C-alpha cells in the first residue's frame, strides 16, 4: 500500500495530486501489479476556475535483478520495465479534459546500502486527449437569425423562433474542442528509504513536458509518500535461512515431499544402517596341530601393475598350484 502526494509547477498552472496505490507481487518477486486511484486539481492560468479530476491506474512492473540481494530481499542492482494506463478526467466550470495514456517506462533501481534505493527512470506515454472549453461570453445570437411572427389568434402575442442552424452556430462560437494524440515524456529520480521491513519513505522528483515529445510547456514535480507492507515478503527473494523462519515443520516437510528428490529420502534409521561398516567374512579356522595338511586349491599368481598392451599378446602360461599358505602349518 502506497500513499503519496505530488506537486507540479508549470507555466500552464500548478497541479496537485493525491494517490493511493495497492501493489501485489507474484511468487518469484519479479512481476508486480499496481492498481491506484488518484485525485488531481489543476489551477489553469487561462481560466478562473480550478479543474478537479480523478484518475485510475493499472500498471505491470517487471524487476530483473542483475546483482545479489540484501538479506531483506532488495536487489543491489536491477533493471525495471513498466507498462500500463492511467485514464484521467478533469472537470471545471469552463473546461472538461479527458486523457487516456498508454505508459511505457524504464528504470535502474540501485541499492548501495540495504536501507537506500535510488532509481533513475524514464517514461513515455502515448496519449489520446479530448479538451472541451465552454466560453459563455462568446455565445451570442445574431439578430438576423431571429424570426418574429404575430400570433393570428391573439394580436397581443408574438411567436419567436430561430432559423435553422442558429443554435449550432451559437454553440460553435462558444465551445472549442481540441482532440489529438500526443507523446509526452518525462524523466526523474526516486529515492526509497527502507525504515523497517514493513515501512518505506519515498521521495519523488521528475521533469516532464505537457506537449508531444520534449516540446511544449515544461513541468517540474516534487513529491513524497509512505509505503506500508501489510503482507509477508515474497519468500523467493529471501535467503534460505530467512525463507523458512516463519514456517513450521509440517509446512517444510510438505514442501520437501513435493520436490522430485523426495523419493531418495531415507529415514534416520536407514541412514544409520548405511553408515555402519560392512561386516567382514568369517575366516576359516586354523587346522589343529598334527592334523593332516589340507590341499590348497590352485591360485593364480599375484596381479602386477598393468603394462602397455603389446601389438600381439604373448600366450598365457598354464597356472601352477601355489604352495600351501604358512597359516595351515603352525609351528
| Mean pLDDT, contiguous 10-residue spans, the chain (331 residues) | 93 90 85 93 76 92 91 89 93 82 94 94 90 67 68 72 68 73 90 91 90 75 92 73 67 71 70 63 52 49 49 52 44 39
- Give me the pLDDT at residue 222, please: 95
What DSSP string runs through 259-293?
Answer: SGGGGG---HHHHHHHHSPPPPPPPPPPPPTTPPP
Which grid coordinates belong to 311?
A: 601389438
- Give me the pLDDT at residue 230, please: 83
Looking from the CA of 56 toward its CB, the CA atoms found within 13 Å total 0
Instruction: Identify the DSSP state of 11.
Output: T
- Single out the residue of 15, 11, 57 nearest to residue 38, CA to CA: 57
- Tell me how long the chain is: 331
Query: Residue 89, exposed/middle/buried by CB under 10 A (0-12, 13-18, 19+)?
Result: middle
- Give me the pLDDT at residue 214, please: 65
Q: pTM value? A: 0.62
Exposed e or buried b per residue across 42-64, where buried means at least 16 C-beta atoms within 10 angstroms of its C-beta: bebeebeeebebebebebebebe
Which grid coordinates belong to 206?
A: 521528475
Assign residue 180 a region: left if phi > 0, alpha if psi is -120 to 50, beta otherwise?
Answer: left
| 167 contact partners, CB below 8 Å, separation of at least 6 | none
CATH topology of domain 2-136+175-234: Lipocalin (2.40.128)
Domain segments of the chain as ranges: 2-136+175-234
Cβ neighbours of 194 (radius 10 Å) = 19
Which grid coordinates belong to 58?
A: 493499472
- Give me the pLDDT at residue 189, please: 95
- Give me the pLDDT at residue 325, please: 46
Query: Residue 131, exposed/middle/buried by CB under 10 A (0-12, 13-18, 19+)?
Result: middle
* Whole-angstrom distance, CA of residue 89 vs CA of residue 69: 41
Instruction: Identify the DSSP state of 231.
Output: S
Cα 141 to Cα 80, 150, 166, 211, 325, distances in angstroms: 58, 21, 7, 35, 136
In 155-241 the beta strands, taken as DSSP E runs, fall at 158-162, 175-182, 185-194, 199-209, 218-228
- Single out the residue of 226, 220, 198, 191 nearest to residue 207, CA to CA: 220
Tell me the H-state helices in the chain. Answer: 166-174, 240-243, 249-257, 268-275
Amino acid at each position: 500500500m502506497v500513499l503519496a502526494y505530488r506537486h507540479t509547477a508549470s507555466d500552464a498552472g500548478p497541479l496537485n495530486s493525491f494517490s493511493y496505490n495497492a501493489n501485489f507481487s507474484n511468487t518469484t518477486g519479479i512481476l508486480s501489479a499496481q492498481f491506484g486511484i488518484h485525485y488531481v486539481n489543476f489551477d489553469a492560468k487561462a481560466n478562473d476556475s480550478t479543474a478537479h479530476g480523478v484518475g485510475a491506474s493499472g500498471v505491470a512492473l517487471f524487476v530483473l535483478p542483475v546483482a545479489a540481494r540484501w538479506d531483506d530481499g532488495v536487489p543491489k542492482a536491477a533493471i525495471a520495465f513498466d507498462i500500463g494506463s492511467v485514464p484521467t478526467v478533469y472537470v471545471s466550470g469552463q473546461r472538461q479534459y479527458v486523457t487516456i495514456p498508454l505508459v511505457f517506462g524504464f528504470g535502474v533501481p540501485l541499492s548501495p546500502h540495504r536501507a537506500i534505493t535510488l532509481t533513475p527512470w524514464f517514461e513515455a506515454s502515448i496519449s489520446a486527449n479530448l479538451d472541451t472549453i465552454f466560453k459563455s461570453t462568446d455565445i451570442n445570437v445574431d439578430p438576423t437569425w431571429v424570426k418574429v411572427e404575430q400570433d393570428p389568434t391573439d394580436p397581443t402575442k408574438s411567436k419567436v423562433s430561430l432559423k435553422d442552424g442558429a443554435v449550432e452556430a451559437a454553440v460553435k462560437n462558444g465551445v472549442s474542442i481540441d482532440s489529438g494524440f500526443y507523446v509526452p515524456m518525462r524523466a526523474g529520480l526516486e529515492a526509497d528509504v527502507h525504515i523497517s521491513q514493513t515501512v518505506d519513505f519515498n521521495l519523488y522528483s521528475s521533469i516532464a513536458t505537457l506537449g508531444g515529445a520534449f516540446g511544449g510547456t515544461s513541468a517540474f514535480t516534487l513529491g513524497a509518500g509512505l509505503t506500508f507492507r501489510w503482507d509477508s515478503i515474497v519468500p523467493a527473494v529471501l535467503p534460505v535461512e530467512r525463507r523458512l523462519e516463519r514456517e513450521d515443520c509440517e509446512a517444510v516437510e510438505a514442501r520437501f515431499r513435493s520436490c522430485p528428490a523426495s523419493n531418495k529420502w531415507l529415514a534416520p534409521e536407514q541412514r544409520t544402517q548405511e553408515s555402519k561398516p560392512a561386516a567382514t567374512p568369517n575366516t576359516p579356522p586354523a587346522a589343529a596341530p598334527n592334523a593332516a595338511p589340507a590341499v590348497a586349491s590352485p591360485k593364480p599368481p599375484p596381479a602386477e601393475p598393468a603394462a602397455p598392451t603389446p601389438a600381439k599378446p604373448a600366450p598365457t602360461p598354464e597356472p601352477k598350484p601355489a604352495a600351501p599358505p604358512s597359516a595351515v602349518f603352525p609351528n
